[in-house]
A and B are shown apart, each in its own frame.
Chain A
């Protein structure tokens, strides 16, 4: 009995340290917030729940690469953003502000992400040529199909905010 008590006390003593250790090796995530029904925090494993999509585009090295990930529109739909038949009227004044861990920000009009408006695919990618993105690019990167400049293929994405233009 005494031994069990000692073990329990030891465990209680170690437990806070364990949680601290978990904090230190925190996983990267993308927070979806703003004008949404359900704010989401997407981690790498969560991407598996969604249909996988591939986009081929040139990177700065001049070569074609195959990026795979999830349609941004599918993630927004999951968060309850007005896509598809709801993307009309004042909802067309909504925009998507994407932020990277270094503070870099880019904007998409919400309609740019909707299949009803365009066939151009915009994904939140986590893989390049079948491998995880390099740490300096990932773990999450937006890939915009066919866009000439890579400036909106924002790397190290940490947040996606849906907002109304005022």
Chain B
């Protein structure tokens, strides 16, 4: 082969290589756009359907709440999850449920008070959404008896998402994907406020956290450290200085496998509470400053703490119970004189005991819950997943 021929051939192969590279990039772009478009326009054939089976440890118990008129289905949960991350449900199209309930923070945000569409802070701290399947009274004051009832408040409150359910339904009707999704879930493509709420509630019931190190310890698959064990003992034991028994008695309100017992207490934050708590519902002075004792699941992730987010760290929370219980006529009975010291009015824990207690509280973090893809933004997930699948 002479030189000229060789040069021509080299040129031919090089340009072919360049072309094939460009082709590959072009095809990738088409695929990417196509796939994300596919997820956006929800090919409903790809969505799993049928009854949704809740999976949880037997020791969580079966006292669950699913309303008869809103059975949980796989397609309903999918729709609910999509709506949970849907910003069109806010008047300004800027906020979704997930804006204040972020998965990576066990469905809370890092603010004492969250800001809604008009930047006016909420009156109470955004609550963690965990193990709601077993919850019967929602909000810090327990005013809602179901997730369906609860969801209406943040959606329509003028300082939160600020949009009537009818407007939300109208907006969703004008999208390419939602009518088909509603049809898949409810049998016809009518989009109503009631159906929006029901789907969101279905999704929220699936937010089950049952794989913390504490769960693993209960299943005998995790051996706690010395410090965690000491913290657990303090957590589970009521103090009795007469008998020399030291304890923190957290179990009184945060006991059980789910670290939640649905009690409402005045935990001595203030002698004159700025927020009346459930007194504003019942009108009874004995309910003054009484709020839900929330779940301690993932508590290390859900700062700041208390109904008004006044404590930024777990150390501050433990210090409160240890040193700063404020006396008042509505202080809950079990906190009156609850102390490791004779005649004490607060727990009076030693510095080392506080560290032990916090070591145990950290055992309640469920890292699989906060990374579980079933709970994340379905639009983001589909795109990410498709492109990063190995």
Chain A residues proximal to chain B, CB less than 8 Å? 23-26, 28, 101-104, 135-137, 155-156
In the complex, the chain A residue whose C-beta lies closest to that of B142 is A103
Task: Name 9 A/B residue pairs within 8 A (Cβ), A-sorted.
Answer: A26-B284, A28-B286, A101-B286, A101-B287, A103-B137, A103-B142, A103-B263, A104-B263, A135-B286
Main SS of the interface on chain A? loop
Report whether A101 and B263 are in contact in the complex, using a CB–CB cutoff of 8 Å: no
Q: Which residues of A contact B265 (CB under 8 A)?
A: 102
Q: Which residues of A contact B273 (CB under 8 A)?
A: none
- Cβ of B351 < 8 Å from any Cβ of A? no
Q: Which residues of A contact B285 (CB under 8 A)?
A: 25
- Cβ of B290 < 8 Å from any Cβ of A? yes
Known contacts A103-B137, A136-B286, A136-B336; 9 further A-B pairs (Cβ under 8 A): A26-B282, A28-B284, A101-B264, A101-B286, A102-B264, A102-B332, A103-B262, A103-B264, A104-B263
In the complex, the chain B residue whose C-beta lies closest to that of A26 is B283
Report whether B283 and A101 are in contact in the complex, using a CB–CB cutoff of 8 Å: no
- Cβ of B223 < 8 Å from any Cβ of A? no
CA–CA, A90 to B330, complex, Å? Answer: 42
Interface residue count on the B side (C-beta < 8 Å): 20
Chain B residues proximal to chain A, CB less than 8 Å? 137, 142, 261-265, 282-287, 290, 329-333, 336
Which 7 pairs of residues, A with B, have the shortest CB-CB distance?
A: A26-B283, A136-B333, A103-B263, A103-B264, A102-B264, A103-B262, A102-B263
CA–CA, A23 to B283, complex, Å? Answer: 6
Q: Which residues of B contact A155 (CB under 8 A)?
A: 333
Give the residue among B286, B330, B331 with the most A Cβ atoms within 10 A.
Answer: B286
Report whether A135 and B329 are in contact in the complex, using a CB–CB cutoff of 8 Å: yes
CA–CA, A101 to B289, complex, Å? Answer: 13
Give the residue among B282, B284, B286, B332 with the most A Cβ atoms within 10 A.
Answer: B284
Q: Which residues of B contact A135 (CB under 8 A)?
A: 286, 329-330
In the complex, the chain A residue whose C-beta lies closest to that of B332 is A102
CA–CA, A156 to B142, complex, Å? Answer: 17
Q: Which residues of A contact B282 (CB under 8 A)?
A: 26, 101
In the complex, the chain B residue whose C-beta lies closest to that of A104 is B263
Report whether B284 and A137 are in contact in the complex, using a CB–CB cutoff of 8 Å: no
In the complex, the chain B residue whose C-beta lies closest to that of A137 is B333
In the complex, the chain B residue whose C-beta lies closest to that of A136 is B333
In the complex, the chain B residue whose C-beta lies closest to that of A156 is B286
CA–CA, A91 to B222, complex, Å? Answer: 47
Q: Which residues of A contact B332 (CB under 8 A)?
A: 102, 136
Given contacts A103-B142, A135-B329, contact A24 B283 (CB under 8 A): yes
In the complex, the chain A residue whose C-beta lies closest to that of B137 is A103
In the complex, the chain B residue whose C-beta lies closest to that of A138 is B286
CA–CA, A24 to B262, complex, Å? Answer: 25
CA–CA, A136 to B264, complex, Å? Answer: 13
Q: Which residues of B contact A23 (CB under 8 A)?
A: 283
Nearest Cβ distance between residue B165 and chain A, in whole angstroms? 29
Q: Which residues of A contact B264 (CB under 8 A)?
A: 101-103
Q: Which residues of B contact A137 (CB under 8 A)?
A: 333
Report whether A102 and B290 are in contact in the complex, using a CB–CB cutoff of 8 Å: yes
CA–CA, A136 to B285, complex, Å? Answer: 11
Nearest Cβ distance between residue A98 and chain B, in whole angstroms? 15
CA–CA, A25 to B283, complex, Å? Answer: 7
CA–CA, A155 to B329, complex, Å? Answer: 16
In the complex, the chain B residue whose C-beta lies closest to that of A22 is B283
CA–CA, A2 to B285, complex, Å? Answer: 42
CA–CA, A103 to B290, complex, Å? Answer: 11
Q: Which residues of B contact A28 (CB under 8 A)?
A: 284, 286
CA–CA, A156 to B282, complex, Å? Answer: 13
CA–CA, A136 to B329, complex, Å? Answer: 8
Partner of A101, one of B137, B261, B284: B284
CA–CA, A26 to B282, complex, Å? Answer: 8
CA–CA, A36 to B284, complex, Å? Answer: 26
In the complex, the chain B residue whose C-beta lies closest to that of A27 is B284
Q: Which residues of A contact B284 (CB under 8 A)?
A: 26, 28, 101
CA–CA, A28 to B261, complex, Å? Answer: 24
In the complex, the chain A residue whose C-beta lies closest to that of B333 is A136
Q: Which residues of B contact A156 (CB under 8 A)?
A: 286
